[in-house]
């Protein structure tokens, strides 16, 4: 409508002025409801053509969309394991939590028993080390005793052998053989005691530390499982829709306990979906303006900080059926990220709020570079100038938006 009014000032109004003051035709006389088309046909046709052209130029070079939203992410509150709720630390359906603050606790009797079992195994390994040290001490005593007995038998054998060498009649040969067997037996006892001592030392230095380390690892694992029964906030934010109660069974795959909205989520940034035809126009750094339902009568200056290179409507996932392009019923839009030019520009805009966004293309740098001729530079100046039309339309929308929402929409 605004474009039609502007174009009529350049086409229809001059045509009427010519008819009125040059040809002397007057409204209600020569110019009536039935003759207006014949009398003002040149102005009407030119006005319609210029309006269509102006609308095309404005909407192509300065795109607009009503699909602008302050998206925010939500985190489902889920435990890592199944369990029955034993304690709740948040009494309300919604509330504020800090990072690391507990939200609820599952029944931990099984995990606590596993922790206690692992601790008992560590104590058992420590006790076994003490016993191994005692066994080593006992082996040392037995080794000393065996060496003494061996030395005594060896001395007895050497004495008998010396007597036999001096006078074979004084010592029987059978006696020497018996003493030699005794010495060999005592040496075997020494070897057995040494082997037992080495076994006890090996057990103390290798086996028991390995068993203790395994028990400590089991304790750490059990403590981790026990810690999982207390569900804590991963980030600071707001807990919403928290209807969990003591005795409820929580399943990490099917039944979340609530939703955690991170602090600051959806603030300071907008996401807008522009038509595919604007793919060649949208650029990072373009100036933009938005007005939101949650902050009426305010136009916020923005800047384009990102343009997504893909259109969501064309995404596919591997499946058992071939993709038919006819299944894409609605053409997708180009996702554009907008941020306020000034700090605090989106203060007061509720995350998730619906907004109207305009983006304005600028050819100033192109004109200033001297790469375009005079006629094209004039055309580019005109393209930049008609952005005023879209800016005026946005302000009219911002002015009428509360009225349309509260009065005509019945909200």
Q: What is the pLDDT of residue 356?
A: 92
pLDDT at 329: 67
Q: Which of 227, 253, 279 is the last residue of a domain?
A: 227
Q: What is the pLDDT of residue 181?
A: 77
SS3 per residue for the chain: CHHHHHHHHHCHHHHHHHHHHHCCCCECCCECCCCHHHHCHHHHHHHHHHHHHHHHHHHHHCCEEEEEECCCCCEEECCCCCEEEEEECCCCCCEEECCCCEEEEECCHHHHHHHHHHHHHHHHHHHHHHHHHHHHHHHHHHHHHHHHHHHHHHHHHHHHHHHHHHCCCCCCHHHHHHHHHHHHHHHHHHHHHHHHHHHHHHHHHHHHHHHHHHHHHHHHHHHHHHHHCEEECCCCEEEECCCCCCCCEEECCCECCEEEEECCCCCCCEEEEECHHHHHCCCCCCEEEEEECCEEEEEEEEEEEEECCCCHHHCCCCCCCCCCHHHCCCCCCEEEEEEECCCCCCCCCCCCCEEEEEEECCCHHHHHCCCCCHHHHHHHHHHHHCHHHHHHHHHHHHHHHHHHHHHHCCC
pLDDT confidence of residue 61: 85
Q: Does residue 391 lie within any of the structural domains?
A: yes
Total domains in the fold of the chain? 4
Identify the pLDDT of residue 9. Answer: 67
Please report whether residue 358 resides in a domain: yes
| 171 and 196 fall within a common domain | yes
| pLDDT at residue 241, rounded to an integer | 86
Low-confidence stretches of the chain (pLDDT beneath 70): 1-3, 9, 12, 16, 33, 35, 38-39, 157, 164, 169-171, 176, 329, 409-411
Look at residue 303 in the predicted model and tell me its pLDDT.
94
Do 279 and 372 fall within a single domain? Answer: yes
Same-domain check for residues 156 and 223: yes
Whole-angstrom distance, CA of residue 137 vs CA of residue 115:
34
pLDDT of residue 317: 78
Cβ(133)–Cβ(114) below 8 Å: no
Q: pLDDT tens digits, residue range 208-258?
A: 888 888 888 888 988 888 888 898 888 898 888 888 888 888 887 777 888
| Statement to judge: residues 279 and 411 lie in one domain | yes
Residues 306 and 217 in one domain: no
Do 155 and 199 fall within a single domain?
Answer: yes
Has this prediction a pTM greater than 0.85? no
Answer whether 232's CB lies under 8 Å from 103's CB: yes
CATH of the domain at 253: 2.40.50.100
**Residue 50: which domain range?**
1-61
Give the pLDDT confidence score for residue 302 in this predicted structure: 93
The reported pLDDT for the residue numbered 305 is 93
pLDDT of residue 338: 94
């Amino acid at each position: 409508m605004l474009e039609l009014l502007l174009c009529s000032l350049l086409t229809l109004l001059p045509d009427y002025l010519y008819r009125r003051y040059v040809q002397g035709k007057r409204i209600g006389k020569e110019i009536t409801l039935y003759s207006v088309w014949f009398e003002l046909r040149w102005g009407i046709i030119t006005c319609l053509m210029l309006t269509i052209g102006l609308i095309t130029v404005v909407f192509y070079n300065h795109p607009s969309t009503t699909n602008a939203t302050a998206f925010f992410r939500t985190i489902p509150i889920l435990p890592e394991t199944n369990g029955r709720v034993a304690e709740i630390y948040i009494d309300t359906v919604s509330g504020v939590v800090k990072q690391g603050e507990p939200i609820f606790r599952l029944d931990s009797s099984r995990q606590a028993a596993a922790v206690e079992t692992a601790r008992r195994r560590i104590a058992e390994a420590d006790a076994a080390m003490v016993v191994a040290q005692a066994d080593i001490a006992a082996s040392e005593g037995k080794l000393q005793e065996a060496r003494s007995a061996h030395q005594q038998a060896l001395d007895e054998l050497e004495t008998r052998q010396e007597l036999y060498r001096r006078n074979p009649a004084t010592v029987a040969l059978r006696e020497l053989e018996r003493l030699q067997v005794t010495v060999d037996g005592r040496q075997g006892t020494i070897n057995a005691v040494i082997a037992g001592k080495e076994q006890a030392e090996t057990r103390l230095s290798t086996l028991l530390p390995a068993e203790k380390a395994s028990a400590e690892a089991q304790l750490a694992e059990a403590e981790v499982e026990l810690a999982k029964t207390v569900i804590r906030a991963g980030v600071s934010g707001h807990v919403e829709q928290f209807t969990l109660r003591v005795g409820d069974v929580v399943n990490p795959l099917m039944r979340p306990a609530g939703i955690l909205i991170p602090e600051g989520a959806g603030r300071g940034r907008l996401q807008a979906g522009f038509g595919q035809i604007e793919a060649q126009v949208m650029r990072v750094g373009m100036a933009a303006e938005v007005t939101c339902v949650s902050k009426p009568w305010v136009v916020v200056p923005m800047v384009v900080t990102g343009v997504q290179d893909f259109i969501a409507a064309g995404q596919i996932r591997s499946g058992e059926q071939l993709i038919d392009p006819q299944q894409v019923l609605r053409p997708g839009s180009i996702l554009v990220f907008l941020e306020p030019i000034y700090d605090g520009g989106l203060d007061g805009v509720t995350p998730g709020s619906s907004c109207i966004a305009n983006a304005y293309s600028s050819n100033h740098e192109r004109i200033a570079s001297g790469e375009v001729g005079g006629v094209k530079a004039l055309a580019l100046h005109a393209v930049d100038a008609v952005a005023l039309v879209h800016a005026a339309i946005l302000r009219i929308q911002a002015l009428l938006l509360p009225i349309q929402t509260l009065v005509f929409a019945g909200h």
